[in-house]
Amino acid sequence: MSADDCHEWGDFDLNSLLNFRYHEVDTGDLAGSQTQRPMQSTFSQWMGIQQHISPEEASRVYQEQSTDGANVSNESILLLGCGNSKLGEQLLVNSFQGPVVQLDVSSKVIQIMTQRYQKYLREAAVKRMHFVVDDAATGLTALEHESVGGGVVDKGLLDVLHCSMGKMESNDTTNTSTESDGDSQHPIQTIVESVHRVLQPSRPFLFFSRTGPEYMLKRIFGQDSTNQIRRNWSDVNVVHLVDLNVLMYRFIKASENDLQEEHGKGIANVRVTTRAFRKKMKETKK
């Protein structure tokens, strides 16, 4: 693998997500959702972060905030299992402020990516790209608690891990909260818990998968999905991206206010794209 090589899970990149069409998805009713009229949205709205008018403007704002002593992690974006994808660079090219933190378990991959992006590292007046060698499945120990203020993005890692476990029936009553030896969590659950730890409250975890929610949510949360969601997440949204034929999951980390208001009551059936979330998207547009 060379610095010029690139693999994009799902054969799509950020350019396909800047503006997209989607259907709402009900658990177990992906086929039914296809009959709906597609809605339109943007990556910026779903992440709840600003897309500036130009890369230069984004860099200028970041530099000013750094100089003023502001918390520049407020728009930081963590890419899990970055591999040799160009997603991190595309975020900066498309005028997102960042910084972009690219994380992978392979030190070789990070070495190659570091070589590829010297212009964002040593040659940059303002450093808005960082690389971290860490295993998302063992706790994201290289990152501090609530250090990610923009959001976390995973394009394929959870899906690959889910598929590696083999077939799961939608009515399977097996306890998925532990590995086959009964003593340890599955890596998927560890990853989601680790993401929750490093996210700041009310910030999103966005991931893409070809696995339906009736399987993926059970894999992540076990049989007691609703109560598990209530404890940590204020919203769980799943939509079908029409033009990419892939599912996009969005978990919002619950804040203290969310927990006090018993936010989980509205997602007992894991209905996706809730009224509250649609309201948030409209507010972002203003």
Instruction: Name which of 199, 176, 187 is nearest 138 in CA terms.
Output: 187
Question: At CA 272, angle to CA 184 and CA 218, rounded to 5?
Answer: 20
- Evaluate the CA torsion angle 164, 229, 275, 170 in order and state its sign: positive
pLDDT-derived band at 196, boundaries 50, 70, 90: very high
11-24 mean pLDDT:
93
Range among 92-106, 115-129, 158-172 with highest mean pLDDT value: 92-106
Q: Is 2 within the bounds of a domain? A: no
Sequence-distant (6+) residues with CB within 8 A of 86 are 6, 8, 13
**Mean pLDDT score of the chain:** 81
Q: Is 164 within the bounds of a domain? A: yes
pLDDT-derived band at 166, boundaries 50, 70, 90: low
Query: Residue 264 maps to which CATH number?
Result: 3.40.50.150
Q: Is 114 within the bounds of a domain? A: yes
Position 8 scores a pLDDT of 77
Instruction: With 0.85 as the threshold, say if the pTM is over it.
Output: no
- The answer on pLDDT for 85 being more than 50 is yes
Q: Which strands make up the sheet holding 151-155, listed edge to edge? A: 39-42, 19-24, 233-241, 246-253, 204-209, 151-155, 77-80, 100-104, 129-133
Q: Is 248 within the bounds of a domain? A: yes
Question: Taking a C-beta distance cutoff of 8 angstroms, is the pair 239, 25 a contact?
Answer: yes
Q: Residue 173's Cα: distance from chain center in Å?
A: 28
| Domain encompassing residue 210 | 9-285
Question: Taking a C-beta distance cutoff of 8 angstroms, is the pair 62, 96 a contact?
Answer: no
Q: Is 117 within the bounds of a domain? A: yes
Instruction: Name which of 61, 59, 92 is nearest 77 in CA terms.
Output: 92
Count of C-beta atoms within a 10 Å radius of residue 16: 16
Question: Taking a C-beta distance cutoff of 8 angstroms, is the pair 187, 133 a contact?
Answer: no
Q: Is 46 within the bounds of a domain? A: yes
Sequence-distant (6+) residues with CB within 8 A of 270 are 27, 213, 217, 225, 226, 229, 236, 238
Digit-coded pLDDT (tens) for 197-243: 999 999 999 999 999 998 898 888 877 666 777 788 999 999 999 99
Position 283 scores a pLDDT of 52
Position 195 scores a pLDDT of 97
Query: Residue 228 forms beta bridges with which residues?
Result: none
Q: Is 3 within the bounds of a domain? A: no
Does 98 or 174 have the greater pLDDT score? Answer: 98
Instruction: Name which of 56, 55, 48 is nearest 77 in CA terms.
Output: 48
Q: Is 1 within the bounds of a domain? A: no
- The answer on pLDDT for 194 being more than 60 is yes
Q: Domain tally for the chain?
A: 1
